[in-house]
Amino acid sequence: MKRRQGWLFFIIFLLTLSVYLLINYPLQLGLDLQGGSQLTLQISKEEGKVTKDELDAVNSVIDRRVNNLGVSESNLQTLGGDQLILELPGEQNPLVASRILGKTALLEFRTQKAGTSTDLKILQLQRLKIKEIFDQYSSSEKSQFDDNFFKIIQDDLKEVEQELNYSTTSSDLYGKLIEIKKYVDKEITNLFIKTDLSGKDLINAGRRQEQTNSNWEVLLTFSNSGGEKFAEITKSIAGTNQLLAIILDGESISEASVGNQFANTGITGGSATISGNFNAENARELEVQLKGGSLPLPIEIVETNTIGALLGSKNILKSLYAAISGLIFVGLFMIFNYRILGFVSVLSLVLYGFFNLALYSLIPVTLTLPGISGLILSIGMAVDANILIFERIREELYDGNTLTRSIDSGFQRANSSIVDGHITTLLSCFVLFLLGTNFVKGFAATLGIGVLISLFTSLNCSKTILRFFTTYQSLRQKNLFLPRNNFSN
């Protein structure tokens, strides 16, 4: 009896601890419960597997970019060997994040090949035209979208195609515009020769508004060696009609001439400005990308989930209803069939609930919708062990054994089949957790933890509570353990 009392105190201690944990370390809610966006980024590599080093390198670049973006409470983790998951809680538009993260941000400085001035001028002109078509296309109102409007754009496009001697193959207009833009960018880049100065030589980037107009410019600060390289490069083309191009991800964002006055020393001081046509927004995006450095491998955003905050809180409410009604009806079912034993199982179920949640906040497990369904499902499984035991106790009682003896051997004999029976469920959970996606992991984790805790609550807690009850003489009546009509059998 002493030992059982020790268990009772231990259980009360655990319960107090759980409540304490739950109050002080609130549960972490997944995005489907609190609202927010989740982006899955896939690292693409043409050949071979992504190595651990490459994964870490990509991870740190993305991490820097996200930090510089100033997103609050974001969470970045790696998944598998070649994926990253970025979570942006709350009402934060994933669009900006996706634009900044999706780019490699490979910055190059190139000098123009000699004697290509005419070619460049033609291409620059066509590039301007394409930009105008794009502007017209995206700023137009719904009312202007008639056949006439499309015809104008199509004609403009055809003109550009003729000038460039290139015909697009895309099926829709939008695709054609993008295709021709890519073609021009590539042609322009090809007129320039690579130098050994790149984004790696930057130590900082910033942005400011130009004084003469409302445009923005991006400031680059080079490292010492970068500054020397930059001086060297500018010196080599100073005073010639060759231009210096700043190329980002294969697209030239600025082509500038270097004045004759730099012919002796080049541009010194270790800094440069890019003043293409930036507005506040895309200047900031470039700044964030350059600060974070370029990605060693390109990444692709392969999944985006966005859930509104209102929907999230509705999901919490719905899950609560489901969990509570499930608990109540399971409890009623147990009490109806097993009387006092049923009541004991309800008490251990309540303990089970607290221990589970406390463990979630301790580990911590982030609660998601599938996670909650795993928890709710494990309620049924937690009762399973109790049912096995209670059935054994009933049989012992029918055989005319005393209450204490029946209870003891009921627990003892059911022990092995309970542990055994749960192994297959644990096996499934284990595989799911290893191989599953983030979404599935939540379910596997809560179901697995649930099954493990249920072994403790249904074996140990129920036994202790039952022992405690049976110390009261008035509760030690067989008809409190079995529905009365059963005795007539």
Partner 1 sequence: MKYNLELIKNKKKIIGFSTVLILFSLLGILYSTFNTSYKKPINIGMDFIGGNELRIERVCEAECSNLSPDSVFENLKEISKNKKVLNNLKLQFQNNNKLISIRTPYLSIEESNNLISNLDNILGPLNYESKDSRLIGPKLGKRLLTNCVTSLLVSLFAISLYITIRFDKKYALFALLALFHDLLIVFGIFSWLGIILAVEVNSLFAVSLLTIAGYSVNDTVVIFDRIRENLKSMKEGYNETIQLSVNESFRRTTFTSITTLIPLLSIILFGSYSLFWFSLSLSLGIIVGSYSSILLAPSLLLKD
d(C-alpha 25, C-alpha 145), whole Å = 56
Minimum CB separation from partner 1 for residue 481, in Å?
15
**Which residues sit opposite 209 in a β-bridge?**
216
Query: Considering beta carbons, is residue 265 or 325 the nearer one to partner 1?
Result: 325
Q: Which of 209, 225, 417, 477 binds partner 1 (CB under 8 A)?
A: 417
431 binds partner 1 (CB under 8 A): yes
d(C-alpha 453, C-alpha 103), whole Å = 46
Query: Considering beta carbons, is residue 188 or 449 the nearer one to partner 1?
Result: 449
Query: Considering beta carbons, is residue 217 or 384 the nearer one to partner 1?
Result: 384
79 binds partner 1 (CB under 8 A): no
d(C-alpha 344, C-alpha 464), whole Å = 10
Query: Which positions ≥6 away from 329 have C-beta within 8 Å?
Result: none
165 binds partner 1 (CB under 8 A): no
Q: Which of 7, 15, 22, 40 binds partner 1 (CB under 8 A)?
A: 40
Query: Considering beta carbons, is residue 307 or 466 the nearer one to partner 1?
Result: 307
Query: Considering beta carbons, is residue 407 or 414 the nearer one to partner 1?
Result: 414
Q: Which of 227, 292, 353, 370 binds partner 1 (CB under 8 A)?
A: 370
Query: Considering beta carbons, is residue 168 or 315 the nearer one to partner 1?
Result: 315
Give the SS3 label for residue 300. Answer: strand
Other C-beta atoms lying within 10 Å of the C-beta of residue 55: 20
133 binds partner 1 (CB under 8 A): no
Query: Considering beta carbons, is residue 17 or 178 the nearer one to partner 1?
Result: 178
377 binds partner 1 (CB under 8 A): yes
Query: Considering beta carbons, is residue 18 or 315 the nearer one to partner 1?
Result: 315
Residue with tokens 């012919």: 263
Site for partner 1 in 446-465 (CB under 8 A): 447
Query: Considering beta carbons, is residue 19 or 302 the nearer one to partner 1?
Result: 302
- Residue 483 structure tokens: 């529905």
Minimum CB separation from partner 1 for residue 477, in Å?
20
Site for partner 1 in 198-217 (CB under 8 A): none
Minimum CB separation from partner 1 for residue 219, in Å?
28
Minimum CB separation from partner 1 for residue 67, in Å?
21
137 binds partner 1 (CB under 8 A): yes
369 binds partner 1 (CB under 8 A): yes
The values of phi and psi at residue 252, to 5°, are -70, 120
Query: Which positions ≥6 away from 263 have C-beta within 8 Å?
Result: 235, 238, 239
Other C-beta atoms lying within 10 Å of the C-beta of residue 155: 10
Site for partner 1 in 83-122 (CB under 8 A): 91, 93-95, 98-99
The site string for partner 1 over 285-324 (x = CB under 8 A, - otherwise) reads ---------------xxxxxxxxxxxx--xx--xx-xxx-
337 binds partner 1 (CB under 8 A): yes
Q: Which of 23, 70, 72, 142 binds partner 1 (CB under 8 A)?
A: 142
Q: Pairing mode, if any, of strands 28-29 and 366-367?
A: parallel
d(C-alpha 325, C-alpha 336), whole Å = 16
- HSE-up of residue 195 (Cα within 13 Å, Cβ side): 29
The values of phi and psi at residue 446, to 5°, are -70, -40
Q: Which of 21, 120, 220, 334 binds partner 1 (CB under 8 A)?
A: 334
Residue with tokens 């730099």: 262
Q: Which of 436, 455, 460, 476 binds partner 1 (CB under 8 A)?
A: 436
d(C-alpha 327, C-alpha 348), whole Å = 12
Are 273 and 218 in contact by the 8 Å Cβ rule? The answer is yes
424 binds partner 1 (CB under 8 A): yes
Query: Considering beta carbons, is residue 187 or 303 the nearer one to partner 1?
Result: 303
Minimum CB separation from partner 1 for residue 416, in Å?
8
Question: For residue 396, which of 464, 482, 462 has the smallest C-alpha distance?
Answer: 482
How far CA 240 is from CA of 34, 112, 244, 257, 376, in Å, comes to: 60, 10, 11, 8, 75
Total binding residues toward partner 1, as defined by CB under 8 A: 82
Where residue 249 falls (left for φ over 0; alpha for ψ -120 to 50; beta otherwise) is left
Q: Which of 6, 175, 239, 364 binds partner 1 (CB under 8 A)?
A: 175
d(C-alpha 120, C-alpha 170), whole Å = 25
Site for partner 1 in 379-398 (CB under 8 A): 379-381, 383-384, 387-388, 391
Are 193 and 111 in contact by the 8 Å Cβ rule? The answer is yes
Query: Considering beta carbons, is residue 20 or 321 the nearer one to partner 1?
Result: 321
The values of phi and psi at residue 70, to 5°, are 75, 35
9 binds partner 1 (CB under 8 A): no
Give the SS3 label for residue 25. Answer: coil
- Strand residue runs (E) in 359-434: 366-367
